[in-house]
């Protein structure tokens, strides 16, 4: 039998989602198919309304190789897994004679941890939620959230935080989730056979299409910890966000609260000498951070250098001591030990990175408003280290052994793709070299005629924006605009508080429009 053509497949998929074919979408699908066939790299700028997801899903599914799709936002991940992929797979089945499996994969902390849920947080937390369901009053918001989570654990098939509606606070979720470093591992955990995170990984191993996020892609690519199955094609949607997300993953941070938490967690598991060494180093670091002002550190000050070396060396001692000490008097010892190791290793790694120094890293102090919880009581300052550029990392780790397609509505700068290409570690378009991946860029335009279909309006008469979101002149203006548009309005604000205040006020002003 002859293989169906790409236009046939695209027509079937577009029809299935109730859409209409667009020239830009056809051009994009053809370019993606060519890149995958050639094992090449492609940057595609596809304006709003192009239908990007079908533009890359159809050729990827037709090719038959395993593909990873990485997005920046949860909304797009859900759209792909809950709407676009199911419809596309069903629409293509009569033509392809197969139904490719697809799955969504996120970082471990996004899934409910049954060990944490049933055994509680290891007993080293200053805030005292040892048995979180008893310690948190059922009438409190935290207590109500935890009770909801326990009930939800019996109903959910995924354990995915984003499947819980309405959601719960970060504080509540932290009581029932673990990071990859804190996880006991499926073979050592009493709940390993039922683990939601492990089940998600198994589904991903069997899937032809894996939908994930930029952060997990970055961890997989740059941290040497494979979390994604082997794949032949990588598609990065919302690619204009990729560099900042990768930079975020590659950024390290030290705060006095974080260091003191590591001290507290390790204290019961090591000998007195090791515990005292870490405590002394933590106190020295905290004293320095109390005086820290927001600034970039062109060179590491001598006193900070000594403090970081003391912290690094104390962490090494504690890590060795934790590995050789067993204390059966500690309840749930394995979980406590794993959590303590995760905290101490995190401090060690950042202290070592800053102490060692790199011409490619930038180090700076930040100050922020103290927030509730033990982690922020000691100082509102943090010490951060990040790469000045992740282009080298991306070139080495992302563009090898697979075809990579990056797409967004905004990839061109100054009329070409070279600026974005450089930030991704790529040379000029079409340039070849020993260490420069060959790539090309395609702009498929947008089906919208912006000059005829859009208006840019600037309300120059409004007062300058200020911290206070409760502004009568702005709310008057919003009321008129919403009424003029007959509803149909999306308001974007610079803070959650401003959005909440505006929503509350506008509900009483224009009750005829649900807000």
The pair phi, psi for residue 382, each rounded to 5°, is -135, 155
Local structure of residue 267 (DSSP, 8 states): G
- Domain check: are 34 and 95 in the same one? yes
pLDDT of amino acid 373? 44
Q: Do 406 and 242 meet the contact criterion of CB atoms below 8 Å apart?
A: yes
Residue 515 lies in a domain: no
pLDDT of amino acid 378? 43
pLDDT digits (tens, 9 = 90+) for 199-221: 999 999 999 999 999 999 998 88
pLDDT digits (tens, 9 = 90+) for 374-407: 433 445 799 999 999 999 889 988 898 899 999 9
Range in 122-131, 462-471, 496-505 with the lowest mean pLDDT:
122-131
The pair phi, psi for residue 100, each rounded to 5°, is -60, 135
- Domain check: are 276 and 373 in the same one? yes
Residue 252 lies in a domain: no
pLDDT of amino acid 285? 96
- Name 149's Cβ contacts closer than 8 Å, sequence gap at least 6: 112, 117, 164, 168, 172, 173, 176
Question: In whole angstroms, what is the distance from residue 394 CA to residue 410 CA?
Answer: 19
End-to-end CA distance of the chain: 54
Question: In whole angstroms, what is the distance from residue 367 CA to residue 289 CA?
Answer: 10
Whether 87 shows a pLDDT value over 90: the answer reads: yes
Whether 278 shows a pLDDT value over 50: the answer reads: yes
Q: Give the residue numbers spanning the domain of 66.
A: 6-101+207-247+392-445
- Domain check: are 192 and 55 in the same one? no
- Domain check: are 97 and 119 in the same one? no
- Domain check: are 366 and 398 in the same one? no
pLDDT of amino acid 494? 83
Question: In whole angstroms, what is the distance from residue 426 CA to residue 41 CA?
Answer: 10
Whether 124 shows a pLDDT value over 60: the answer reads: no
**What is the share, in percent, of the chain residues with pLDDT greater than 70?**
90
- Domain check: are 96 and 211 in the same one? yes
Q: Do 24 and 444 meet the contact criterion of CB atoms below 8 Å apart?
A: yes
Q: Is this model's pTM higher than 0.85 or not? A: no
What's the whole-number mean pLDDT along residues 258-285?
Answer: 93
Residue 235 lies in a domain: yes
For the chain, how many structural domains are there in total? 4
- Domain check: are 302 and 400 in the same one? no
Whether 289 shows a pLDDT value over 90: the answer reads: yes
- From residue 105, how far is each of 186, 218, 497 by CA, in Å? 17, 13, 32
What's the whole-number mean pLDDT along residues 416-421?
Answer: 92
pLDDT digits (tens, 9 = 90+) for 334-360: 888 888 999 999 999 999 999 998 999
Q: Do 423 and 411 meet the contact criterion of CB atoms below 8 Å apart?
A: no
Whether 324 shows a pLDDT value over 70: the answer reads: no
pLDDT of amino acid 141? 83
Residue 160 lies in a domain: yes
- Domain check: are 409 and 469 in the same one? no
pLDDT digits (tens, 9 = 90+) for 127-139: 444 445 444 556 6
Q: Which of the two residues, 37 and 226, has the higher pLDDT score?
A: 37
Strand partners, 70: 212, 236
CA angle 412, 243, 198 (to 5 degrees): 130
């Amino acid at each position: 039998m002859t293989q169906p053509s790409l236009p046939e497949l695209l027509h079937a998929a577009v029809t299935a989602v109730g859409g209409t074919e667009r020239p830009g979408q056809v051009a994009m699908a053809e370019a993606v198919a060519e890149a995958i066939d050639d094992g090449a790299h492609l940057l595609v700028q596809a304006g709003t309304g192009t239908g990007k997801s079908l533009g890359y899903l159809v050729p990827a599914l037709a090719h038959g190789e395993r593909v990873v799709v990485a997005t920046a936002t949860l909304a797009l991940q859900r759209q792909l897994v809950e709407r676009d992929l199911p419809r596309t797979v069903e629409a293509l089945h009569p033509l392809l004679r197969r139904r490719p499996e697809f799955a969504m994969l996120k970082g471990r902390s996004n899934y409910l941890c049954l060990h944490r849920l049933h055994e509680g947080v290891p007993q080293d937390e200053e805030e005292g939620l040892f048995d979180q369901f008893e310690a948190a009053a059922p009438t409190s918001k935290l207590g109500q959230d935890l009770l909801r989570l326990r009930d939800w654990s019996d109903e959910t098939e995924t354990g995915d935080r984003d499947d819980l509606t309405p959601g719960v606070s970060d504080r509540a979720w932290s009581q029932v989730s673990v990071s990859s470093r804190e996880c006991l591992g499926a073979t050592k955990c009493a709940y390993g056979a039922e683990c939601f995170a492990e089940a998600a990984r198994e589904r991903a191993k069997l899937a032809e299409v894996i939908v994930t996020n930029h952060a997990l892609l970055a961890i997989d690519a740059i941290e040497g910890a494979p979390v994604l199955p082997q794949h032949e094609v990588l598609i990065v949607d919302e690619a204009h966000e990729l560099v900042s997300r990768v930079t975020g993953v590659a950024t390290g941070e030290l705060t006095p609260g974080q260091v003191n938490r590591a001290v507290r967690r390790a204290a019961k598991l090591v000998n007195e000498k090791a515990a005292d060494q870490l405590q002394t180093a933590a106190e020295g670091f905290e004293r320095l951070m109390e005086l820290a002002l927001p600034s970039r550190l062109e060179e590491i000050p001598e006193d900070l250098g000594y403090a970081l070396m003391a912290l690094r060396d104390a962490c090494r001692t504690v890590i060795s001591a934790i590995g050789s000490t067993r204390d059966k008097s500690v309840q749930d010892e394995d979980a406590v030990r794993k959590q303590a190791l995760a905290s101490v290793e995190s401090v060690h790694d950042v202290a070592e990175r800053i102490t060692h120094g790199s011409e490619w890293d930038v180090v700076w102090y930040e100050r922020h408003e103290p927030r509730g919880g033990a982690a922020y009581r000691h100082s509102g300052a943090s010490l951060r280290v990040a790469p000045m550029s992740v282009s080298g990392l991306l070139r080495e780790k992302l563009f090898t052994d697979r075809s990579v397609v990056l797409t967004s509505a905004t990839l061109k700068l100054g009329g070409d793709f070279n600026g974005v290409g450089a930030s991704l570690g790529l040379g000029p378009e079409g340039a070849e070299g020993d260490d420069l991946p060959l790539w090309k860029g395609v702009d498929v335009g947008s089906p919208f005629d912006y000059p005829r279909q859009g208006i840019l309006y600037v309300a120059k008469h409004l007062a300058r924006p200020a911290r206070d979101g409760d502004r009568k002149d702005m709310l008057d203006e919003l009321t008129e605009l919403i009424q003029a548009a007959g509803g149909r309005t999306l308001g974007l604000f610079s803070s959650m508080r401003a959005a909440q205040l505006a929503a509350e006020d506008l509900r009483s002003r224009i009750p005829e429009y649900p807000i």
